[in-house]
């Protein structure tokens, strides 16, 4: 696990621990919807709101469409001789919560090539299988899976709540029902891994669960993919973890609802790949919903593992960073990091540049809580079952749902006092 690129640390990356701007709740929320796509980061990103990241249907951050934005994780692009692409990482710091994806043929942690038995290092040429589709061919393929018609005929009162390098998120009113919806508008020409747009349409169209943001419909409008989804007024969990201290009943309540969503997705072979507080949205009654599916992957018996480097650095599991084949277990590690956010207010190593944080996650024992003296032994044990370096030994979502800590979970209404508007902290 010590690729050559790791011996020469990259130039320092300044981590500005971003100023906490507090956008309005709606902006915040929706910004989340936008997540810049895969490896786009830096300049074409959005403003630097602290840790609030992108949200899918209620964007908390301004990231764009691909549920993961690609900036903090941006780190990850990779030339064969370096662990990561430093430029994208430098830019990445502009939003340390952004997600990124390095595509399938970029190898990061092991990108130093594999060693043969004789000890020779063999460079593996990137495999380029498919022919690049033209924009028109890609658009035609997408047209096959979206709804026919023009959504503009049924939507009015648009309010833009977020903007990213790859698209925009708005709230609008659905004329036929009178309800507010969130609309993600993603420019096909600006996606770095445009094939991930199919996730937004196909995966979310086929999987429905009370703890997953509902996607109503999707359309092609000129050269943009529009995805119309449920609007969640409560904003992202990030807003809560950065401004409030949650008690253990509230933490258990969030975890139980998230684990129900993950248990369902994993049973269907779907790996989310970007679990973090920014991907968790709340309804006004405290119901918790998983969002930001732009980076998810479908596995099957024929293809049970994935290898591409996808996610947001501080929440990535050791096996993803090491470029080992991985499965749904990666979401459980990321959920463990999100539990640390709920206790400590931020993920481990958050004041370090993404590259350095990734090295630590890859090479060190699982991270520890700063506030471990404040947690019960049940909560500590629950966390210890998620932050296990060996994915085979890590608890599954179904196992965690039976953990004694979750007996403390209460109704969603327990979370209402934490939401913006109900809080009396000096925001």
From the list 174, 239, 274, 278, the catalytic residue is 274
How does 272-307 read in b/e, with b if 16+ C-beta sit within 10 Å? bbbbbbbbbbbbeebbbbbbbbbbbbbbeeeeeebe
Give whole-number Cα distances, 91 to 11, 341, 353, in Å: 13, 24, 11
Question: Could you tell me how many helices (H) and strands (E) the chain has, helices first?
Answer: 12, 13
Q: Which residue is listed with tokens 């599954």?
A: 396
Instruction: Answer positive or negative: Cα dihedral of 317, 341, 376, 421.
Output: negative
d(CA 41, CA 338): 23
> In the numeric block, which tokens belong to residue 117?
């038995």
Q: Which residue is listed with tokens 């998620």?
A: 386
**Is 274 a residue of the active site?**
yes
d(CA 134, CA 201): 20
Asked if residue 174 lies in contact with residue 154, where contact means CB atoms within 8 angstroms, the answer is: yes
> In the numeric block, which tokens belong to residue 191?
């996606």
Instruction: Answer positive or negative: Cα dihedral of 140, 77, 295, 154.
Output: negative
Report phi then psi at 90, rounded to 5. -60, -45
Instruction: Give the residue from 46, 105, 106, 104 showing the smallest Cα distance to 70.
Output: 46
Asked if residue 265 lies in contact with residue 295, where contact means CB atoms within 8 angstroms, the answer is: no
Q: Which run of H or E residues covers position 335?
A: helix 329-344
List of residues 6+ apart from 24 with CB closer than 8 A: none
3-state secondary structure 237-288: HHHHHHHCCCCHHHHHHHHHHHHHHHHHHHHCCEECCCCCHHHEEECCCCCE
Q: Which residue is listed with tokens 């380029």?
A: 128
List, by residue number, the catalytic residues.
274
């Amino acid at each position: 696990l010590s690729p050559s690129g790791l011996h020469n640390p990259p130039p320092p990356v300044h981590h500005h621990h971003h100023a906490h701007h507090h956008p309005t709740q709606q902006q915040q929320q929706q910004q989340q919807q936008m997540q810049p796509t895969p490896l786009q980061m830096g300049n074409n990103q959005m403003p630097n709101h602290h840790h609030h990241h992108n949200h899918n249907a209620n964007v908390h951050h301004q990231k764009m469409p691909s549920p993961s934005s690609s900036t903090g994780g941006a780190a990850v692009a990779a030339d064969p001789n370096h662990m990561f692409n430093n430029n994208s990482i430098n830019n990445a710091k502009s939003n340390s919560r952004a997600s990124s994806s390095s595509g399938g043929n970029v190898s990061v942690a092991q990108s130093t090539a594999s060693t043969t038995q004789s000890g020779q290092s063999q460079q593996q040429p990137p495999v380029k299988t498919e022919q690049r589709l033209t924009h028109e061919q890609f658009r035609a393929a997408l047209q096959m899976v979206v709804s026919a018609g023009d959504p503009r005929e049924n939507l009015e009162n648009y309010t833009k709540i977020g903007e990213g390098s790859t698209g925009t998120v708005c709230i609008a009113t659905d004329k036929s029902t009178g309800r507010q919806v969130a609309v993600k508008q993603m420019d096909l020409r600006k996606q770095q891994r445009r094939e991930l747009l199919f996730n937004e349409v196909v995966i979310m169209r086929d999987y429905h669960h009370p703890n997953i943001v509902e996607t109503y419909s999707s359309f092609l409008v000129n050269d943009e993919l529009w995805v119309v989804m449920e609007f969640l007024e409560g904003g992202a969990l990030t807003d809560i973890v950065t401004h409030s201290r949650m008690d253990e009943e509230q933490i258990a309540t969030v975890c139980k609802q998230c684990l129900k969503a993950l248990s369902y997705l994993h049973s269907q072979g779907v790996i989310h790949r970007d679990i973090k507080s920014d991907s968790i949205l709340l309804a006004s009654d405290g119901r918790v919903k998983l969002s930001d599916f732009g980076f998810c992957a479908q596995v099957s018996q024929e293809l049970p593992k994935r290898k591409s480097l996808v996610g947001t650095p501080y929440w990535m599991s050791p096996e993803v960073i090491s470029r080992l084949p991985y499965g749904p277990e990666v979401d459980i590690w990321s959920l463990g990091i999100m539990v640390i956010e709920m206790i400590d207010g931020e993920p481990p190593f958050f004041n370090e540049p993404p590259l350095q944080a990734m090295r630590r996650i890859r090479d060190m024992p699982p991270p520890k809580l700063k506030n471990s003296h404040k947690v019960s032994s049940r909560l500590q044990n629950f966390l210890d079952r998620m932050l296990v370096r060996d994915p085979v030994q890590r608890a599954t979502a179904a196992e965690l749902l039976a953990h004694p800590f979750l007996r403390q979970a209460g109704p969603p209404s327990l979370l209402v006092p934490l939401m913006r508007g109900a809080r009396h902290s000096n925001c």
